[in-house]
Chain A
Amino acid sequence: MKYRLEATVSARVDILNRITTLFIQKGLPVESVNYKVIDDRLAKVELICSDADDIRMDRIINQADNMVDIAQVQYIKLDK
């Protein structure tokens, strides 16, 4: 199943690495990443993962939620 992860994050240089690492660690393929700085501290990230399931996405969200540089995170299931 396809999922979109949406996060509000700290606008630091390595934040994309941090988020994609969550997927790499679980062997999940990332299809696209969108990143936009919204003010001097925060940025928005949208990431599409093509082959995940609810359980693994929940784990990623829990892990992301624990990360210091992520202010808010959620995922949406996309239809095929």
Chain B
Amino acid sequence: MTGAEALINTIIEENVDTIFGYPGGSIIPFYDKLYDYTDKLRHVLVRHEQGAVHAAEGYARATGQVGVCVATSGPGATNFVTGIADAMMDSTPIVCITAQVDVGKLGTNFFQEADMVGITTPITKWNYQISRAEDIPIVMPQAFHIARSGRPGPVLISITKNAQVEKFRYRYDLKAALDRMVQVPRRDNLEKRDLNVQKAIELLNNAEKPLIIAGQGVLISGAEAVLAECANKGCIPVACTLLGRSAMNFHDHYYIGMVGMHGNMSANAMTQQADVILAVGMRFSDRVTGNPAGYAQNAQIIHIDIDKTEFNKNIQVDLTIHGDARQMLEAICDGLVFKDRESWRRFGYEQYDKEKENVIGPMLASKKLNMAQVVDAINSHYIEKVSPKSYGSNVVLVTDVGQNQMFAARYLKLTMKTGWITSGGLGTMGFALPAAIGAKCGRPDAQVVAIVGDGGLQMNIQELGTILQNNIDVKIVLLNNSFLGMVRQWQDLFFDKRFSHTMLVNPDFSKICEAYEIEYMKISKPEELEDAIDRMAASKGAFFLEAVVDPTANVYPMIPGGKTLNDLIIR
């Protein structure tokens, strides 16, 4: 068997059914063999390698499996870089396969040569250059294992052209491959961990104003149910981070909103007032904490994370518990006792009412169409109307980056079952369209809606071609304000309204959709929304809804950069 064939076989052995990629010179031997495997492995031809890596991320986030993307050497491989960094920041398990020139030609500035191992070392969980075919059955299982285990992340495999064409005796042996990894299993100090769990239970039980902040770790470890149980059992309010938004039902009595720069007033105010905070699978990003010096000064903080590098990185905490979010929450849940914390919860409700009165209400009632109204309409259709019983379980919502993302995160009433995919850590514009394609490929039964802005859409607009060629049923909602909205908002608030280079002159999207054979509709008034969403939901195949929205509608509340959670502005 040739190396290329072995590579395909290892991918199939790892239960991957779809890969995303773009062929080129050095990867031709792989693509040649792939031609014989089209019945076992679906290949989605994208239009740009960045699209492939975001699609693999979308696939991974929607299914919980490892996403795989393939590109050629040199420019193909370097186009992966943004997506790899994005997956690293958001702990997304992907394996990126890039070709490399012949081993004998390495370092000669050969045509389409780039040192991908060197380039991606700081932004991958692991990377490896395969230069002999016989290394494939050893390295590939390791790559998948590393990508999905512990805190998931991206792995890059660079495979030289000679390794793809060499012949060898192929045998897949997962155990033998994993045995050859040098990392010795760490013996965690379990006694200390158990002791810390006990201390955490004690702190929470004695607290007057406890708060749980749930991050993406809750979703990755499947701890949503035990999180809700903890909240109920101990009467503890729960806030979520941007990536952990679907860790708890929006309608749960204990859910108090999203934390962070554009989070809910209730969640941020309660963070500042709390006496004990249990942070689960989150990393105290600067977008969550604001100025760390003024963050949760009244609270003793307990931090559960599977990655101990996150402990005491941004915020000094009082107690660390190193372990899987679900296991640790289960252990804590066992010891929790119910304590009536009515006044503490009422404080949260009051904050929410204040936000509703000052921000949410006026936004939704505005005569000019704005992003909040569109998101609210998506919400009421896809989560409440279409699937009231299953409650949004068959819906995957993907957002881009910027105002559209923040409005979506704030106004979507997500549930534990709703898919929620967004680029949080790296904040990659252009993420949504390819990620939605990947999500749809991973979950063909789900309804996938991509919420994009006009800036982000045009960063990867070429992927409309992927939708056309592969007939992918993705609903695209373009929130078009003809501005780079979030930058405009900062210029509006902090740079004396000097809108330097943020206004976009956009093309006629109807003509673009016509060219790509995608059904198109445009609205610009709030009263047109309901019919538009109904038409979108009823459409067969891809649909493009352009909503022309008010560019002056900023996302509030907002914590200005470098300020603390107390310095929140609401208009």
Interface residues of A (CB under 8 A from B): 9-10, 14, 17-18, 21, 25, 41-42, 55, 58-59, 62-63, 65-72
Contact B121 A18 (CB under 8 A): yes
Are B184 and A66 in contact, with the CB atoms below 8 A?
Answer: no
B42 contacts chain A at the CB level, 8 A cutoff: no
Chain B 298-321 per-residue mask, 1 if CB under 8 angstroms from chain A, else 0: 000000000111011100000000
Q: Is the CB of B309 within 8 A of A68?
A: no
A65 with B182: CB separation less than 8 A: no
Number of A-B residue pairs with CB-CB distance less than 8 Å in the complex they form: 46
In the complex, which residue of chain A has the Cβ closest to the Cβ of B155? A68
B126 touches A62 (CB 8 A): no
Residues of A near B121 (CB, < 8 A) are 14, 17-18, 21
Q: CB < 8 Å: which of A14, A62, A68 contacts B311?
A: A62
In the complex, chain B residues 111-154 whose Cβ is within 8 Å of any chain A Cβ: 117-118, 121-122, 125-126, 142, 146, 150-151
Give the distance in Å from the alpha carbon of A4 to the alpha carbon of B199 in the complex.
34
Jot down 22 A-B pairs with beta carbons below 8 A, ordered by A: A14-B117, A14-B121, A21-B121, A55-B312, A59-B309, A59-B313, A62-B311, A63-B309, A66-B151, A66-B309, A67-B183, A68-B125, A68-B142, A68-B146, A68-B182, A69-B126, A69-B182, A69-B183, A70-B182, A70-B183, A71-B183, A72-B184
Contact status A9-B313, CB under 8 Å: no
Residues from 342 to 359 in B contacting A, C-beta threshold 8 Å? none
B181 close to A68 (CB less than 8 A)? yes
Interchain CB contact (< 8 A) of B118 among A14, A58, A65: A14
> Which residues of the other chain, B, contact A71 by a CB distance below 8 angstroms?
182-184
Q: Mark B517-545, 1 if CB is under 8 A from A, else 0.
A: 00000000000000000000000000000
Complex contacts, B146 vs chain A, CB 8 Å = 68
Measured between beta carbons, the chain B residues less than 8 angstroms from A21 are: 121-122
Say whether A25 contacts B182, CB under 8 Å.
no
CB distance from B178 to the nearest CB of A (A): 11
Instruction: List the interface of chain B (C-beta within 8 A of A).
Output: 117-118, 121-122, 125-126, 142, 146, 150-151, 181-184, 186, 307-309, 311-313
Contacts of B151 in A (CB 8 A): 66
Also in contact, A66 and B182, with CB within 8 A (given A18-B121, A21-B121): no
Q: How far is the CB of B66 from chain A (nearest CB, A)?
A: 16
- Provide the residues of chain B in CB contact with A25, threshold 8 Å: 122
Residue from A10, A17, A58 within 8 A of B182 (CB atoms) = A10
Q: How far is the CA of A58 from the CA of B308 in the complex (A)?
A: 10
Query: Quick check: B118 and A62 within 8 Å, CB to CB?
Result: no
Chain A residues lying within 8 Å of B118, measured Cβ to Cβ, are 14, 17
Q: Which of A10, A63, A66, A70: most chain B Cβ within 10 A?
A: A66
- Which residue of B has the minimal Cβ distance to A66? B309
In the complex, the chain B residue whose C-beta lies closest to that of A9 is B182
On whether the beta carbons of A65 and B313 are closer than 8 Å, the reply is no
Q: A68 near B307 (CB under 8 angstroms)?
A: no
Give bound CA distance, A19 to B122, whole Å. Answer: 10
Find the B residue at minimum CB distance from A24: B122
Q: Could you tell me the distance in whole angstroms from the C-beta of A1 to the nearest C-beta in chain B?
A: 19
**Assembled-state Cα–Cα distance A5/B181 (Å):** 22
CA distance A70 to B182 in the complex (A): 7
Task: Collect the chain B residues with CB atoms within 8 Å of residue A69's CB.
Answer: 126, 182-183
In Å, the complex CA distance between A62 and B142 comes to 21
Query: In the complex, A16→B406 CA distance in Å?
Result: 41
| Nearest A residue (CB) for B143 | A68
Closest A residue by C-beta to B149: A68
Closest Cβ–Cβ distance, residue B73 to chain A (whole Å)? 17
Min CB distance, A74 to chain B, in Å? 13
B117:A62 contact, CB within 8 angstroms = no
A28 to B222, CA, bound (A): 38
- Max count, chain A CB within 10 A of own CB: residue among B146, B184, B307, B308: B308
Besides A10-B182, A65-B186, A68-B181, 6 new A-B residue pairs in contact (Cβ under 8 A), listed by A number: A9-B182, A17-B121, A63-B309, A66-B307, A66-B309, A68-B146
Minimum C-beta distance from B160 to chain A (A): 14
Q: Which of chain B's residues has its CB closest to A10's CB?
A: B182
Q: Which residues of B contact A66 (CB under 8 A)?
A: 150-151, 307-309
Shortest CB–CB separation between residue A48 and chain B, in angstroms?
21
Which 9 residue pairs of A and B lie closest in terms of their CB atoms, listed nearest first? A10-B182, A62-B309, A68-B126, A63-B309, A71-B182, A62-B308, A68-B183, A21-B122, A71-B184
